[in-house]
Amino acid sequence: MSPVEGVTRDRIFDSMEWSGKKYNIIDTGGYLPDTDDKIEKAVRKQAELAYSEADFIILLMDGQSEITSSDRHLAEFIKRNSKPSSLVVNKIDDVSHEEKLYEFYELGLGTPHHISAISGKNVGDFLDIICQQIPNKQKKEKKYDNYLNLAIVGMPNVGKSSLMNSLLDEEKSIVTEIAGTTRDAVDSYINYYGKTIRLIDTAGLRKKSKVGDSIEFYSTIRTQKIIQECNIALVLIDAEKGIGTQDKAIIRSVVLNGKGLVVVVNKWDKIKKSNDTMIEYKRDLYYELKLLKHFPVLFISVLKKQRIFSTISEAIKVNDQYKKQLKTSELNEYLEFIQYKYPPPAIKGKNLKIKYGTQVHHSPPVFAFFCNYPELYPKQYKRYIENQIRNRFGYDGVPIKISFRKK
pLDDT, one tens digit per residue, over 28-74 is: 766 666 666 665 666 666 667 667 778 888 888 888 888 888 888 88
Percent of the chain having pLDDT more than 70?
Answer: 79
CA distance linking residue 288 with residue 294, whole number of Å: 14
Mind giving me the DSSP string for 325-392?
---HHHHHHHHHHHHHHSPPPEETTEE--EEEEEEEETTTTEEEEEES-GGG--HHHHHHHHHHHHHH
Residues pairing with 61 in the sheet: 89
Question: Helices (H) and strands (E) in the chain — how many of each?
Answer: 11, 16
Residues pairing with 401 in the sheet: 366
What is the number of alpha carbons within 13 Å of residue 134 lying toward its C-beta?
A: 20
Q: What is the pTM of this model?
A: 0.68
CA distance linking residue 298 with residue 307, whole number of Å: 9
- pLDDT given at position 242: 94
Residue 7 CB: number of other CB atoms within 10 A?
A: 10
| CA 200 distance to own-chain centroid | 14
| Rg (the chain; Cα; Å) | 25
Angle at 9 between CA 4 and CA 10, to 5 degrees: 135
3-state DSSP call for residue 173? Answer: coil
Domains of the chain: 12-136 (3.40.50.300), 140-322 (3.40.50.300), 328-406 (3.30.300.20)
- pLDDT given at position 331: 96
Rounded to the nearest 10°, the torsion over CA 113, 116, 120, 123 is 10
pLDDT, tens digit (0-9, with 9 covering 90-100), for 284-304: 999 999 999 999 999 999 999
Q: What is the DSSP letter of 34?
A: S
Contacts 24+ apart (CB under 8 A), 290-294: 291/251, 291/252, 291/255, 292/251, 292/263, 294/390, 294/395, 294/396, 294/397, 294/398, 294/399
CA neighbor of 47 nearest in space, from 10, 82, 85, 84:
10
Contacts 24+ apart (CB under 8 A), 243-248: 243/285, 243/288, 243/289, 244/155, 246/155, 246/216, 247/154, 247/155, 248/288, 248/289
- pLDDT given at position 303: 93
Phi, psi of 88 (to 5 degrees): -125, 130
CA distance linking residue 88 with residue 75, whole number of Å: 12
CA distance linking residue 92 with residue 121, whole number of Å: 9
- pLDDT given at position 181: 42
CA neighbor of 262 nearest in space, from 281, 242, 235:
235
- pLDDT given at position 223: 72
pLDDT, tens digit (0-9, with 9 covering 90-100), for 242-299: 999 989 989 999 999 999 999 999 999 999 988 899 999 999 999 999 999 999 999 9
Mind giving me the DSSP string for 125-162?
HHHHHHHHHS---HHHHHTTTTSEEEEEEESTTSSHHH
Q: Which helix (H) or strand (E) holds 217?
A: helix 212-229
- pLDDT given at position 286: 94
- Beta strands at 366-371 and 354-361: parallel, antiparallel or unpaired: antiparallel
Contact 344, 353 (CB under 8 A): yes
Low-confidence ranges of the chain (pLDDT < 50): 1-11, 139-140, 171-185, 202-212, 215
What are the b/e assignments for 178-212, b being 16+ CB within 10 Å? ebbbbbebbebebeeeeeebbbbbbbbbeeebebe
Residues pairing with 191 in the sheet: 196
Contact 296, 397 (CB under 8 A): yes
Q: What is the DSSP letter of 11?
A: -
